[in-house]
A and B are shown apart, each in its own frame.
Chain A
Amino acid sequence: MRRSKNETRLDLAGLLAHGSLRGTTPLYLTPSGGLVESVVLVSQLEEIRQVRPNTVVVLSAEMGSGGWLVSAALRHAWERRASAVVVAGSTYASAAVGLAQRLGVTLLAADGDPAALALALAAEIGASLSVVDAELARVARAVAGDTTLGDVLKTISRELDGIGVLLGYDGVVLASAGIPPRETDEVITVEVGDPNSAVSFTLTASVPASGVHNLRLVRSVLEIATPAVKAAWLLEDQLSSARATPTAAIAALDQDSDASGAEFEEKHRHLLNQLGWREGEHYVAVWFRSGRAQDHRPELTAVLRLLWRKVTARSPLAEVQGGWLALVPAEDHDASTQLETRIRARLGAALAELGLVVGLSRWQEDGPALALIVREGRLAAESSRSMGPGTVLGLANLGVVAATSFVDMDAVALVAELTLPRLMASPDRDVVIKAVAVFLDHGSSVSLAAKSLNLHRNTLQARLNRARELGVPLDIPAEMLSVHIIAKVLQRFAQD
């Protein structure tokens, strides 16, 4: 809307000067004027308790005109933040002027029939609203022409003088347009999507507190634009699904984990060509998955696709078994590193919010088979689970440490309970376990471990002897790996 959003608003000053309240006698006028959004003709005092703010309350003639009635009506009007109270012209009302002043409610006396005045005011408010309706129809036409979500949001923001508009899911901003929101803004939110659907988006406008916007009108614009937002989102999701088919196919073909990359390419050469994958091209596999085991939520696909656009718009994201996969072209190692940095910077917080982790394959000079990099991405994603939601981890930074990610911590803890009962029951358990873990981390060097723990070596030695007393086999080389794993797992549990 090119015009300011307050042009359609009616206020008491205007209505008294040249509107339907012109014929009334002001008994008391509030200095601030007052917005008028509706009018109510009441015949029972109790009806005033239901009026909306910014309403002109007209007391019907049959209610009578006693001073008590005006006083009680003013009180109810004040409680409901009404704009004004109109009473039948009467000398009785004059006694209540002091109360109107005290409560800050405009009090007007109607010379004629209050019902006729209420009708005239209702017509004036109706005419004003019809202007709003015409504006809303124009907004609806404007957003109907947009095909992408970004365009729809830009159009909404433009129509609302550039205010911030964003599409969110569960506190995560998926897309936005206009001025970034500030804390002082008035936030108006409408739901987008079927309430029964698993995923429900919210469309939010951040209206500056300058007061020039009619908040009800802003809400109406958001509501009008909701179908266009939904349509654009569905269209984009559908297009993304279609574009992601080759990526999804790679993940589906890679079921034979024993096969080498070369065998895979040989076996599926024809299909890969048909899907559009070119031999010798370098890719990095980006694998998203839930931070918890066995918790894949397919309903997040649409949300992730919107987020993924913040990283790259060209490589589609496919929903695959156990997660989501994108294959991003990367010409050199730097491009691969930049990709990882970009994902961390732009999606890290949102992924943490959604309880997701990301794994990336390594960039390699010889351009390994797609099946291999997909496996690497998945492996990296699996490994990053142990570091908590929001982790973005490249396999290149992980190396053999990845192996420890596949240790079943609960099973190891159970082994410890069964095989080292005295250690587990000991009150100084945590200190002893830490000593053992650090000792083994330093290749069984008491000096290095003591230095790392900031302890005297005799103290550490005493703790290791205590571990031996409690049944920890520290002197059998064949059992050293198992002891080390148990110590690391118990240390993790102690930290948690």
Chain B
Amino acid sequence: MSTLITAEDVRHLRTGAHFLTCTIDPTAIYIYAEMIQRAMEGRPLELITVDELAAEDLVVAVGMVTQGLFIADMPPVGDEFLGCIRAIEASLGRSVRAIYSLAAANINGIVPLMVGLQSSLPVIDSDPMGRVFPLISQTTLNIGNVAIGPIALMGVTGERAVVEVESPQRAETLVRALVTELGGWAATAMYPCSARQLKEHGVHGSISRMIRIGQILDANTTVERKLLMLTELLGTTRIARARVSHIESLSRPTDLGLPAQPSSIMLEDESTGRIIHLEIQNEILLVLVDGAVTAAVPDMVTLLNSEQGTVVNIDDIQVGDVVDIMKIEAAAQWYTAAGLDLTEPRAFGIPIGHPRRRHA
């Protein structure tokens, strides 16, 4: 059943998209949310479920791919995504019927709404990550052997490329190189597939979940009440409420071409004395409590301000801050052997298996 998105929903979506990726500078999310809210004045924005499409309808994922440059530093002209969709249609000789998010958090959780408004295409309440990962190959569609290509990219200068590639790993390399040449970020359209394939291999309810998370976090209620509601909605667990004791950037060597530098944060749970270690690269990859793995990617870990219940940016953290460390389980596909192969800490250069793999 399709839903009409309101300006209020966009505000909550912004908060939800930020909650699920607490580590990223949220400026771009805020800029996009504002653009969408302005563009929506007098224009409806339709959110549909994948079931509302015909099985063979062509759908495509839209999202930003960045390589070291914040989008806020060089804002888009505005036609980049439309250019990408046209390039995909030209390449496949078919019309795109709907679009979906490349990721269910951060800027790519909100970008499709803008693209939907611009293109008048419906936005599907599904995505191929159920969260956000730094690599375009880290998708449930990849687990399901859905082709990543052709991939269309368009940068701020209006230059456009279509990459015809089969291997998702190879696509990663080519896209990263092109993005650097296109100016540090590019609008992309990828994983063109049928609605049936998306239904079968995607993660569903992504956008509505972010809106619901935003509604909880934006509500005028106590932090404890918010945590309780998040637990009910997402099965969230609070690992600890702890005070930051040490921050370290460049905390370990990296050679994987991952688009961020590693860093780590040490915290101390003052009620129990437990020492907590967060290992970060783009996002929180690993949580060690007294050295024992308590959460590891693909689990989502986010930080909330212990007093206000608002999402904490990793970049803003200072020694002495007290935060709630929250763990959220990712989509079930990620805990299969193929899912863990793509996303457990080893995939990020940390030679440690996900705790669930031992029990698999």
Contact = CB atoms under 8 A, between A and B. Distances in A.
Interface string B256-290: 00000010101010000111010100000010101
Contacts of A95: 246, 248, 264, 266, 277
A98 B269 CA distance: 12
Contacts of B291: 71-76, 78, 99, 103
A103 B288 CA distance: 14
Given A66-B264, A66-B279, A99 B252 contact: no
Contact of A103 (B251, B262, B266, B290): B290
B318 to A, nearest CB: 16
Given A45-B351, A68-B279, A98-B266, A92 B288 contact: no
Given A64-B252, A65-B252, A75 B264 contact: no
A67 B351 contact: no
B5 interface: no
Main SS of chain B's interface residues? strand
B350 to A, nearest CB: 7
Contacts of A92: 248, 251-252
Contacts, number: 71
A67 B248 contact: yes
Interface string B232-267: 000000000000011010011100000000101010
Max chain A C-beta neighbours (<10 A), residue from B264, B274, B288, B292: B288
B278 to A, nearest CB: 9
Main SS of chain A's interface residues? helix
A67 B277 CA distance: 8
The size class of the interface chain B forms with chain A is 20 to 34
B286 A68 contact: yes
Contacts of B245: 98
A102 B292 contact: no
A63 B350 CA distance: 10
A346 B286 CA distance: 66
A69 B246 contact: no
Max chain A C-beta neighbours (<10 A), residue from B248, B264, B275: B275
Contacts of A102: 273-275, 290
B24 interface: no
B353 to A, nearest CB: 8
A72 B288 CA distance: 7
B331 interface: no
Nearest to B274: A102
B352 interface: yes
Contacts of B264: 66-68, 95
B293 interface: yes
B351 A71 contact: no
Given A65-B252, A71-B288, A72-B291, 4 more contacts: A72-B352, A95-B266, A95-B277, A102-B273
Q: Can you list the 8 inter-chain pairs with the closest CB atoms, starting with the nearest?
A: A75-B291, A66-B252, A68-B279, A71-B291, A99-B275, A71-B277, A95-B246, A71-B288
Interface of B: 245-246, 248, 251-253, 262, 264, 266, 268, 273-275, 277, 279, 286, 288, 290-293, 350-352
Interface of A: 44-45, 63-69, 71-76, 78, 92, 95-96, 98-99, 102-103
10 contacts: A45-B352, A64-B252, A67-B264, A71-B275, A76-B291, A78-B291, A95-B266, A99-B290, A102-B273, A102-B274
